[in-house]
Amino acid sequence: MNNENLRNEMLDKKVWAVLGVSPNKEKFGYKIYKKLKDNNYEVYPINPKYDDIEGQKCYKSIEDLPVTPDVLDFVVPPQVSLAAIDKAKDKGIENLWFQPGTSNDEVVNKAKDNEFKVIHNDCVLVALGH
């Protein structure tokens, strides 16, 4: 499957989790979360630093999510992404979307070796029309 088809397949899925969400409106962790919400996605924010984002419960970790999201979107540094891949596998998540700057070769290779569907160096904001 080429990247564009895979990208569209992921964007068609409506239950997402955003790892590294932020309440700071200037940060990509907020902008991506908000863009997904504004486009009628069911979005679960994940960040151990916050209890809620705009009144929605913010989960401390992937393991704490009440559902298995269709897509896990990464807005964290590569070393955090690398550690989260095993947690995503344990949760049964199949699709990983690494925002630009959140992955490196080691992260992408580990995700592909674990048979995830992977998008990397592509921005959800651009994909959904900034």
Torsions phi, psi for 95 (to 5 deg): -115, 125
Determine the 3-state secondary structure of 80 from DSSP: helix
Q: What's the distance, Cα to Cα, between the start and end of the chain in Å?
A: 25
pLDDT tens digits, one per residue of 69-127: 999 999 999 999 999 999 999 999 999 999 999 999 999 999 999 999 999 999 999 99
CA 61/CA 59 separation, integer angstroms:
6
Interval 24-36 mean pLDDT: 96
Task: Tell me which residue of 57, 19, 58, 14 sits closest to 37, measured CA to CA.
Answer: 14
pLDDT at 72: 98
pLDDT at 46: 98
Q: Is the pLDDT of residue 1 over 90?
A: no
Angle, CA of 116, 120 and 126, to the nearest 5°: 125
pLDDT tens digits, one per residue of 71-84: 999 999 999 999 99
Residue 33: Cβ-neighbour burial (10 angstroms; 0-12, 13-18, 19+) = buried
pTM comes to 0.96
DSSP code, position 25: T
Q: Is the pLDDT of residue 130 over 70?
A: no
Partners of residue 71 on adjacent β-strands: 16, 95
Question: What's the number of domains the chain is made of?
Answer: 1
pLDDT at 3: 81
What CATH number has the domain bearing residue 41? 3.40.50.720
- Domain range for 66: 3-127
CA 102/CA 69 separation, integer angstroms:
19
CA 32/CA 47 separation, integer angstroms:
14
CA 108/CA 122 separation, integer angstroms:
13
